[in-house]
Chain A
C-alpha cells in the first residue's frame, strides 16, 4: 500500500483512501450514460468494483468497454450519472488511479524514448511547470525494470516491438503509484512472453492490495487470469466474481451467440458444469 508507506504525502489535495469494511469502494458507477453524437454508447450503468479485485471487462466490439474506462477517468463527458473513486469525484482522486490507454491510441513515431514515456506517469505528482526530479527518474527506471524493459530505456519508442510498447505503457501506469489501475486491452496483440510478464505484474499488483480493471478480449483466458468480470454491451449485462458471473447465459446475453469463438468457450464452461 503505497499510500500508507513511508513516503506518504504524495497527494496533499487528495484524501487518502479509507480501508476496511464500510470504506467506499475503489470505483462506484451510478446510472452512468455516455452519448456520442446523441447516440448512447453506454446506458444506465451501475457498477461496483471491489477492492483488491482483478476484473476483466468483456463484451463485443463497440460494446463501450473503452468508453467505460474513459468515463471513469473523466476523459470524456458523462451525459448523466456519477462516478466515484474511493467515494470522491474523479477530479479529487486522480492521484489514486493509474491509466493504460489502448496502445493504438498514440503515434509511436513521436520523438521520445521509453524512459521519457514512463516519466509521464510521474507528471501527475509534479506541480505545474515542475520538471521531473532525480527520484522520479529512479521510479521510472524501476518501473521499466519491473516490466523487463530497463535495457531499452533509451530506445526511441518506434523502435520497440508491439509487446515492448505495451510494457512501456504498463510501466508508465506503474510509475503513477496508484491504488486502482484501469487498463485498456493490455494483452491485445502482444507476444506470449509479454502476456506472461503482464499477467505476472497484474497478480503482483493484486497481491499488494491494488485494484485492477482490464478491458479484455480473449474469452479463453478470462477464468484463469481474472477473479472478477464485468460483461458489457451498451448496458451492463452482469458483474461479479468470475465463477458466478462468467456463465453461458450471461455470455449469450452479452455476445448474442454470434461468435464462433464463443461456442468453444461455452462448451468448455458447460462441460465444467457451471
Chain B
C-alpha cells in the first residue's frame, strides 16, 4: 500500500496523472454547476437525476454492446433528462407535489437500472465487469482518452456557466423577474437542466449514481459559508470539488477496485463540516461568539446602569457600592459579576475601592446615555403607543442596549425634548462629550 501511495504521489506514472487530472476536473465542474442547483433549491432533483442515469447506462450498453465512455455517457444523459422531464410532468399534471414526484422518479428509475444491471451480469458477458462501477464510481478506470474527452466536456460546461452567468443568476434568484424581463427564461431553464444532467453524467464514472448528489450539493453548501458573492462561490465550490476529487483519486489508487465515490463524498463532507463550523460570518462558531458578545455587552451595561441607579437613589454619585448592593438590583452570580466588574475596570468604566465599586467619569457618561435611552423609550411607549406605565420598564430594559444614536435623536424630536420619564425619574441630557462604548 505504501508503494502504491508513493507511486501516486510522485506523479511519475502517466496513468496516475490522467486519473488525478480527470478527477479534479470532473469533481470541480460538478461543484460549479451544482451551485445553481443548490441555490435554486433543486438538490433533490439532482439526486433523482443521478439515480435516473443508471438505466440509461445499462440500456446504452445493451443496445450498442459497447463500453465506450461516450456511448455510456449519452445513455446517462438521455435517461437523466427523462428523469428530469418525468418530475416536471408528474408535478404539473398530477395532484402529487414535487417531493413525491422526485421520490417516485428516483426509485423507479434506479430500480429499473438495478434490474438491468443484474440482467447484464447474469448474462455473463465478459465485458460487463465495468458497469457496476457506475454504482459507486471508480476513477482508476479512467484512460487518457476518457480524460481528454471528459476534460473537454468540463471546459464546455464551465464555459457555458461563464457565458450565461447573468442569465443563470437572475433565474436562480428571481425566476419571475427573469420572465418579466423576457430573458427567454424557459430556454435558460432547459440549458441549466442540460448542464446539470451533463455534469452528472460525467461525474458518474467518478462517484457513481448513488453518491453523485453529494458532489453537486456539498461543495456548493460549503462554499456558500465563506462568501456572499456568487462568482466567488462558484470558484470556491469548484475548488472544494477538485480537492475532494484529488483525494478520491489518491484513495482509489491504493488498492485495486477501490471505489472513488465514497472517498470523495467523505472528503467533501469534511470540507462542509469545517465550513459550517468555522466560516467567519455564517459559521456556527462565529454566530455563537456573536451571541456571547451580545450577552456580555448586556451584562456589562446592566452593571454600569445599576451603579448609576444606586447613586441616583442615594442622591450621591460619589459613593462607592459593595457587591451586595449591586446584586440586590441584578440577579447575577457573585463570581460572574466580579469578573465583569474587573473587566469593566480594565476598560476604564468602573473603579474598585477596596471591595466597593464606583463609576469613573467615562462609566458615568456611558450610564447616562443608556439610562437616557431607557427612559426616552419608556416615555415613547406610554405617550405614543399608549401602553400602561407599569408595562414599559421590561421592554425598555431590553431595547436600551440596542437603540442607535439616530433613533435616540428621533425619540427626542418626537417627544419634544422631555426631562422626566413616566415614573417621574429625570432623563439625563444628551451627552456633549465623546461617547464611551463597551
User: Chain A interface (Cβ within 8 Å of chain B)?
Assistant: 70, 73-75, 91, 94, 97, 99, 101, 105-107, 110-113, 117, 120, 123-124, 126, 128-132, 156, 172, 176
B177→A112 contact, CB < 8 A: no
**B7 CB-CB contact with A under 8 Å:** no
Q: Residues of B contacting A107 with CB < 8 Å?
A: 39, 41, 173
Q: Residues of B contacting A131 with CB < 8 Å?
A: 166
- Chain B residues numbered 207-258 whose CB sits less than 8 Å from any CB in chain A: 224, 227-230, 233
Give min CB distance, A203 to chain B, whole Å. Answer: 24
Which residue of the partner chain A has the closest CB to B40? A107
Give min CB distance, A174 to chain B, whole Å. Answer: 14
Which residue of the partner chain A has the closest CB to B35? A111
B180→A126 contact, CB < 8 A: no
Q: List 25 A-B contacts (CB under 8 A).
A: A73-B179, A73-B180, A75-B179, A91-B182, A105-B174, A106-B173, A110-B172, A110-B173, A110-B230, A111-B39, A111-B229, A111-B230, A112-B169, A112-B228, A113-B228, A117-B173, A120-B169, A120-B170, A120-B173, A123-B166, A124-B182, A129-B164, A131-B166, A132-B166, A156-B228
A99→B177 contact, CB < 8 A: yes
A105→B183 contact, CB < 8 A: no
A111→B180 contact, CB < 8 A: no
**B183 partner, pick from A99, A110, A124, A156, beta carbons under 8 A:** A124
Q: Residues of B contacting A156 with CB < 8 Å?
A: 228
**B176 CB-CB contact with A under 8 Å:** yes
Q: Residues of A contacting B229 with CB < 8 Å?
A: 111-113
Range of interface residues on B (Cβ < 8 Å): 20 to 34
Q: Residues of B contacting A129 with CB < 8 Å?
A: 163-164, 166-167
What separation, in Å, do the CA atoms of A123 and B233 have in the docked complex?
21
B228→A74 contact, CB < 8 A: no
User: Chain B interface (Cβ within 8 Å of chain A)?
Assistant: 39, 41, 163-164, 166-167, 169-170, 172-174, 176-177, 179-183, 224, 227-230, 233
Which residue of the partner chain B has the closest CB to A130? B166
**A123 partner, pick from B39, B183, B230, beta carbons under 8 A:** B183
B173→A75 contact, CB < 8 A: no
Give min CB distance, A177 to chain B, whole Å. Answer: 13
**B174 partner, pick from A97, A111, A120, A176, beta carbons under 8 A:** A120
What separation, in Å, do the CA atoms of A123 and B182 have in the docked complex?
9
What separation, in Å, do the CA atoms of A38 and B128 have in the docked complex?
49
B176→A101 contact, CB < 8 A: yes
Q: Residues of A contacting B169 with CB < 8 Å?
A: 112, 120
B167→A105 contact, CB < 8 A: no
What separation, in Å, do the CA atoms of A126 and B170 have in the docked complex?
13
What separation, in Å, do the CA atoms of A130 and B167 have in the docked complex?
10
Instruction: Specify the main secondary structure of chain B where it touches its partner.
Output: helix
Q: Residues of B contacting A91 with CB < 8 Å?
A: 182
A75→B180 contact, CB < 8 A: yes
Q: Residues of B contacting A101 with CB < 8 Å?
A: 174, 176-177, 180
Which residue of the partner chain B has the closest CB to A184? B176
A94→B181 contact, CB < 8 A: yes
Q: Residues of A contacting B41 with CB < 8 Å?
A: 107
Which residue of the partner chain B has the closest CB to A110? B173
Q: Residues of B contacting A123 with CB < 8 Å?
A: 166-167, 170, 181, 183
Q: Residues of A contacting B228 with CB < 8 Å?
A: 111-113, 156
Which residue of the partner chain A has the closest CB to B180? A99
Give min CB distance, B363 to chain A, whole Å. Answer: 32
Interface contacts beyond A73-B179, A111-B39, A111-B229: sample of 16 additional A-B pairs, CB < 8 Å, sorted by A: A70-B176, A74-B180, A75-B180, A94-B182, A101-B180, A105-B174, A110-B230, A120-B170, A123-B167, A123-B170, A123-B183, A126-B166, A129-B164, A129-B167, A132-B166, A172-B177
Given contacts A111-B229, A112-B228, A129-B163, contact A75 B176 (CB under 8 A): yes
What separation, in Å, do the CA atoms of A202 and B161 have in the docked complex?
37
Give min CB distance, A151 to chain B, whole Å. Answer: 13
Q: Residues of A contacting B230 with CB < 8 Å?
A: 110-112
What separation, in Å, do the CA atoms of A106 and B183 have in the docked complex?
18
Which residue of the partner chain B has the closest CB to A14? B182
Give min CB distance, B181 to chain A, whole Å. Answer: 4
Which residue of the partner chain A has the closest CB to B182? A94
Q: Residues of B contacting A132 with CB < 8 Å?
A: 166
Q: Residues of A contacting B227 with CB < 8 Å?
A: 111
Give min CB distance, B402 to chain A, whole Å. Answer: 14
Q: Residues of B contacting A130 with CB < 8 Å?
A: 166
What separation, in Å, do the CA atoms of A169 and B172 have in the docked complex?
16
What separation, in Å, do the CA atoms of A172 and B174 have in the docked complex?
12
- The 6 tightest CB contacts between A and B, nearest first, are A94-B182, A99-B180, A124-B181, A156-B228, A75-B179, A73-B180
Give min CB distance, B422 to chain A, whole Å. Answer: 23
Give min CB distance, B242 to chain A, whole Å. Answer: 20
Q: Residues of B contacting A113 with CB < 8 Å?
A: 228-229
**A120 partner, pick from B177, B179, B224, beta carbons under 8 A:** B177
Which residue of the partner chain A has the closest CB to B174? A106
Which residue of the partner chain A has the closest CB to B172? A110
What separation, in Å, do the CA atoms of A111 and B39 have in the docked complex?
9
What separation, in Å, do the CA atoms of A187 and B35 have in the docked complex?
33
Q: Residues of A contacting B181 with CB < 8 Å?
A: 94, 120, 123-124, 176
Give min CB distance, B389 to chain A, whole Å. Answer: 25
Interface centre among A74, A107, A111, A176 (most CB of B within 10 A): A111
B180→A112 contact, CB < 8 A: no
Give min CB distance, A76 to chain B, whole Å. Answer: 9
B182→A111 contact, CB < 8 A: no
Q: Residues of B contacting A70 with CB < 8 Å?
A: 176
Give min CB distance, A215 to chain B, whole Å. Answer: 14
A111→B183 contact, CB < 8 A: no
What separation, in Å, do the CA atoms of A73 and B176 have in the docked complex?
9
Q: Residues of A contacting B179 with CB < 8 Å?
A: 73-75
What separation, in Å, do the CA atoms of A41 and B233 have in the docked complex?
40
A112→B173 contact, CB < 8 A: yes
What separation, in Å, do the CA atoms of A122 and B163 have in the docked complex?
17
Q: Residues of A contacting B174 with CB < 8 Å?
A: 101, 105-106, 120
What separation, in Å, do the CA atoms of A162 and B146 have in the docked complex?
51
What separation, in Å, do the CA atoms of A74 and B183 have in the docked complex?
12
What separation, in Å, do the CA atoms of A48 and B166 have in the docked complex?
35
Give min CB distance, A214 to chain B, whole Å. Answer: 16
Which residue of the partner chain A has the closest CB to B164? A129
